[in-house]
Structure formats: C-alpha cells, structure tokens
Structure 1
C-alpha cells in the first residue's frame, strides 16, 4: 500500500509540475509557434513567436497583458526587421512605440532610425533606400508625427 501511495504521489507531482509551465503553441507539424511566460493571456514576461517554417518572428516582453520594453521583429529569412521600445498608454488603449526605433530592409540595410514619442515620430529621423542611399522622403525633422520643413 505504501508503494502504491508513493507511485500515486509521484504521478500527481509530475502532472502538477506540467501545469505550471510556460504557455506554448505549435504550428501544424509540431513546429513552435509561440512560447511565453506569465499565463496564456500574455500575463507578464518574455514571449517569443516563430514563423511556420520555424524561423524567429518576434520577441519581447509583456507586463499585465501589454507589450512593453524592447521588442524585436525579423523577416522570414531571418534578417532583423525592427527593434525598439514599447510603452503602455492607457489613454490610447494600446502599447505604443516610444524612444529609439530602428527598422531594416530585408537585405539587411538599415531602413529608418529615429525617436517615437508615444507612437508618433518626434525629432530627427534618418531613412535609407535598400541600396543604402538616403531616402529623402523620410529623412528630416518630425513633430507630433508630422514632418516639418
């Protein structure tokens, strides 16, 4: 009887340990789709997302269900697409880009770099075309999301 209780206790402990793990999702075929911390509803902690082919798609942190902190995205071939900080803005009911953001073209060439202020471009922005030449449509000064001449 003691042996049965010990076996039952071990099985129960193993089952309960499995319930406390990180939320995970899979694409068809068993390839990772997402993995995170803090509960199925994006509680708090680091989350990572993958494309159906298994390539890294996005990584960042949630706090109380909202995207905050540094977030990075990648194109399907594995080249970095963007990187910057997000903050939760209750008045907007959204996590907005804030602070320095950089984006890249699929060929790895930098596309844009500049500051956001609660989701709007603010200050000096630089832009480049895929061949590395300056993108004059983007490069310039911005206030409250609008380009100023």
Structure 2
C-alpha cells in the first residue's frame, strides 16, 4: 500500500496580499521559482495572467537523471486572495494535492504551502521516497524560499 506523505512550508513575504497573489497565481511565474536543475517547461497554452478553477497546465520536467516526465495539473479550487489548489491529473505521483494559502500579516503576507502526495508501486514507491524524492522535494521548496526572498526581500516582522 502506498503511504501518503505531507509537506508544509510557511514563508513570510514583505509585500501586499495583492502583490503576492498576482505573482503566485500567474502560472508563468512558476518557472521563475523552480530550480533550473528540474528543467521545467510549460507545454500548453496558458490563458490569462491568473489561475482559474478548471485550468489545465501541462509540463515537462526532468527530476531524475535528465529523463523527461510529462505532468498535467488542474487548478481545482480558487478563492481569490486567499488560496488555490493544484492537483496532478497525470504524472509521476499517485496523488499530488498542493494547497497554496495567503494571509495578510503585519508587514506583509504569510504564504503557506501544504502538499499531500503519494507514489505508485507500493513499497517500491515508499523506498524511492526515502532514498531520493523526499530530499528532492525539500531542495525544490528550499530553492523557492530563497528565490522568493531574492525577488521580494526578507520579511523583517516580529518573531523572525
């Protein structure tokens, strides 16, 4: 049986809620905050500058040994200026459910990512997670954290 894994990241960003939403809800900006080693390419026409419920986005990504993998996601929920969800419909995971939450705080925005994911192949998928995938996902989200700081600055609010 495949295990369901969970990843949660919180980042505080010194911009307005509107600025954060405009950046993160634009599918084309995913390329800006994705590490170059993944070689991510959006492969379909993306309409508009803001995601919408039902939107389909297709990608080619090379996460391991330069082998290209097709990935199709659907934006399944959008609450403007609050949250959106993307779910894999076809790709390397058995389950990929990624929530993006945004909340105004003093001095900026708190952005929270919550990802639930699972692998096919039962025990073999769980072993792959332990050997490579968990650390790969952490590298991706660490890169994104630093890239967001580079783009928008370091939050200097209380408690940091």
**TM-score normalised over the length of structure 1:** 0.33
Q: Is the helix fraction higher in 1 or 2?
A: 2
Pick the structure with greater CA Rg. Answer: 1
Q: Is the strand fraction higher in 1 or 2?
A: 1
Structure with more relative contact order (C-alpha pairs < 8 Å, separation 6 or more):
2
